Amino acid sequence: MKNRHLSILIILFVFIVMTGFKPPKNSYPKNDILYSKYGGDIEKMLEGERRADSIARPFMYQTKTEENQSTSASNIDDESIILEKAELMPQFPDGDKGLKDYIASGIAFIPDTLVGKKATVMIKFYINTLGDAKDPKIIKTNDPSFDLQTIMLIDGMPKWTPGKQNGKEVNCYITLPIQYGQ
């Protein structure tokens, strides 16, 4: 009797193991809604879904017309065009002496871990038409531990006098070497 029960349990266990651990049938992508709607053509699907989305949310797909662009306040905040050089380059308040004083005061307060180290960091940023220093990027450094300090120094700058081209204020790049520990 025990053997009979044992054999039934073994057969039941084998049956459960054989049927219970089968991987599910992969019906993807046939049961996918987008696959059935567009027949598997990815480009057609993207185009159709974009069109449906643009109808549902038109505010996300609106573009400026020429009329809207001409009525804007001379695109004062348009930062898509940035000049490398301008007829009149941006000026720091109080000129070059003011810039040197600002940098000297900024590098005087460096973290304790950087005290005693020497480094030169070349940083490039632009002055927008409002006089703000924007988008600082490290061009060259001989000690990366000073990079964050330099970016914070540029981000904290006071307003500059914007550069001018043909009498109009323009966005203009500035490149500065910042020397620590010299």
- Rounded CA-CA distance 152/154 in Å is 5
Q: Indicate the pairing of strand 82-83 with strand 168-180.
A: parallel
User: CA-to-CA distance for 39 and 101, rounded, in angstroms?
Assistant: 68
pLDDT at 108 over 60: yes
| Cα angle, residue 130 at apex, residues 87 and 177 outer, rounded to 5° | 65
Q: Which pLDDT tens digit goes with each residue over 54-95?
A: 777 776 666 655 444 444 444 455 678 889 999 999 999 988
Q: Is the dihedral of CA 154, 157, 160, 162 positive or negative?
A: positive
pTM here is: 0.56
Residues 137 and 122: their CA atoms lie apart, in Å, by 9
**Mean of pLDDT over the chain:** 80
Domains of the chain: 20-72 (no CATH), 82-180 (3.30.2420)
Output the pLDDT for position 71.
42
Question: Are the C-beta atoms of 45 and 37 separated by less than 8 Å?
Answer: yes
> What contacts 175, CB < 8 A, 6 or more positions away?
122, 123, 124, 139
Whether the per-residue pLDDT at 41 is higher than 90: the answer is no
The distance from CA 67 to its chain's CA centroid, rounded to whole angstroms, is 30
For residue 121, the tally of other CB atoms under 10 A from its CB is: 23
Is 125:135 a contact under the CB 8 Å cutoff?
yes
- Asked if 156 and 106 count as a contact pair (C-beta separation under 8 A), the reply is yes
Per DSSP, the three-state class of 155 is helix
What are 113-170's pLDDT values in tens digits? 777 888 899 999 999 999 999 999 999 999 888 888 899 999 999 999 999 999 999 9
Which of helix, strand or coil describes residue 39? Answer: coil
